[in-house]
Amino acid sequence: MHPATAKVMDSAAAEEVGHATLQIVHDLKNQLNGLKLYATFLRKRLEPQNKSSEEQEIVGKLIAGLDNAAREMSALVRFARPLELRHSPRTDLRKIIMSVAELPNRDSGGLELPSIALHIEDVAMLGDFDGPLLVEAFNAITAEVRSSVSTKSGNTVSLHVHREADQAVCRWQGGKLKSRYQAINNSNGCGTIHTALAAKIIEAHAGRVQCNENEIRAWLPLTSTN
């Protein structure tokens, strides 16, 4: 007997599986939110009873883990669904990128993060952009690069932005990124769900993203200066 040949899933079946998966993820996220409520209640009960700092730290880590899992699931759901862009003409990309400087200096566990060095060319960078979505994309990529860099004192993540003709070129450099960027989005190499979502946002603006082990680059179209 010959082993049965696996059939390729047709588009209708794949779509059905996708919808079912999203529903499961949505339900799991609701359950995580419920668990977080219980954990938060437990932390409040521990505080007035002068419980050991170790017990309070454990509960804090539990809440942080639940928050992180919920964020991952939210990003997965958003990545799977179509984006709705609200373009605003002649939006200043330089101001969008400056939001990166407002990212927190510590992670959810309280650990210090590498500093961010911004290098933005002082030229006009206007375009038809959805400002809030691009802020999210730039912040997500920057946060992912920071997480790949050693937290030793003096380490930084650099973001260089300059204009080439009618496009902006953005380049993130920091730690070795190869192990963090695998196959969620093979077209650009960005593998974590947050960077894949960021790439999807940039591509929806007619831009593109490219990742390798040393840097991440993004290109966005700009309004002509002529």
Domains of the chain, residue spans: 11-80, 88-221
Six token digits for residue 179? 């192990």
pLDDT at 57: 74
Query: Residue 41, Cβ neighbours under 10 Å: how many?
Result: 10
For residue 185, CA distances in Å to 21, 70, 197, 205 come to 18, 21, 9, 17
For residues 94-108, average pLDDT? 84
Contacts 24+ apart (CB under 8 A), 206-214: 207/167, 209/141, 211/177, 211/181, 212/177, 212/178, 212/181, 213/176, 213/177, 213/178, 213/181, 214/173, 214/176, 214/177
Query: Residue 192, Cβ neighbours under 10 Å: how many?
Result: 22
Top CATH class of 88-221 equals alpha beta
DSSP-based three-state secondary structure for 148? coil
Q: Which residue has the tokens 């050991």?
A: 52
pLDDT at 29: 73
% of the chain residues with pLDDT over 70: 74
For residues 135-161, average pLDDT? 83
The segment with the largest mean pLDDT, out of 63-72, 122-131, 177-186, is 122-131
pLDDT at 181: 43
Q: Is the pLDDT of residue 152 over 50?
A: yes
Strand duo 215-221 + 156-164: pairing: unpaired
pLDDT at 92: 95
Going across the sheet that includes 208-211, the strands are 115-120, 156-164, 167-173, 215-221, 208-211
